[in-house]
Amino acid sequence: MKQLLCIAAGAVMLTACGGGSTKTSDDIIISEDINMEHRVLNFDNTRKEGGAHSGQYYSGVDVSNKYGAGYAMVIADSLKEKNMTVYVDGWMREKEAPLEGGIAVSLSTSQGTKFWKVLVPANKTEANQWVHVKDSVTINKDLLKDKFVEIGVFGYKDNGPDALDMDDLHIKYKFFK
């Protein structure tokens, strides 16, 4: 499946697909996979074992520890003249409906947080099972004009009594004119 997606993108591969960067004409595509089988942002304090969506481990949080696993990318100066779209594809689970958690996309600069959106599943009533979250956000290059720009994508739960579990988060960053 992953290989098919790479071919479908019609991309010239710079590195192996599934964690790396790709160049399609002037567009730059970078991708990261977070499956909790190896170390990522917020890994140690959120990793749970058993009942994962894939493999053995997943990331679980609740309102007392609301930041789940994810990835924080500092944007290179060479990319700050481009707009960016962040494509998020992951799996989440909560014991009770409605599902209150989601996958946050945040943009931080030296001036503070400039963009914040929590992506949620299409159906918030599917309790106690892994549900797909697939969405994207586009960020205008005007927001990237700072000496320090970091894009964070991570599980986020700030409301409700139950836990938010998350696994198999695939993030694709596309930079384009």
Chain residues that interact with Ca ion, rule: CB under 5 A? 35-36, 52, 54-55, 57, 167
Residue placing its CB nearer to Ca ion in the complex, 36 or 104? 36
Query: CB 148 → Ca ion: shortest distance, Å?
Result: 31
How is residue 91 written in tokens?
């799996």
Secondary structure, 3-state, 19-82: CEEEEECCEEEEEEEECCCCCCECCCCCEEECCCCCCCEEEEEECCECEEEEEEEECCHHHCCC
Query: Which residues, listed in sequence order, are joined to residue 27 by a DSSP beta bridge?
Result: 24
Non-local CB neighbours of 92 within 8 Å, separated by 6+ positions: 99, 101, 102, 103, 121, 130, 131, 133, 155, 164, 165, 166
Residue placing its CB nearer to Ca ion in the complex, 35 or 106? 35
Torsion of CA 3, 176, 69, 43, to 10 degrees: 80
Query: CB 58 → Ca ion: shortest distance, Å?
Result: 5
Query: CB 52 → Ca ion: shortest distance, Å?
Result: 4
Residue placing its CB nearer to Ca ion in the complex, 60 or 121? 60
Residue placing its CB nearer to Ca ion in the complex, 23 or 39? 39
Query: CB 98 → Ca ion: shortest distance, Å?
Result: 25
Residue placing its CB nearer to Ca ion in the complex, 35 or 46? 35
Residue 54's nearest CA partner among 116, 2, 106 is: 2
Query: CB 164 → Ca ion: shortest distance, Å?
Result: 15
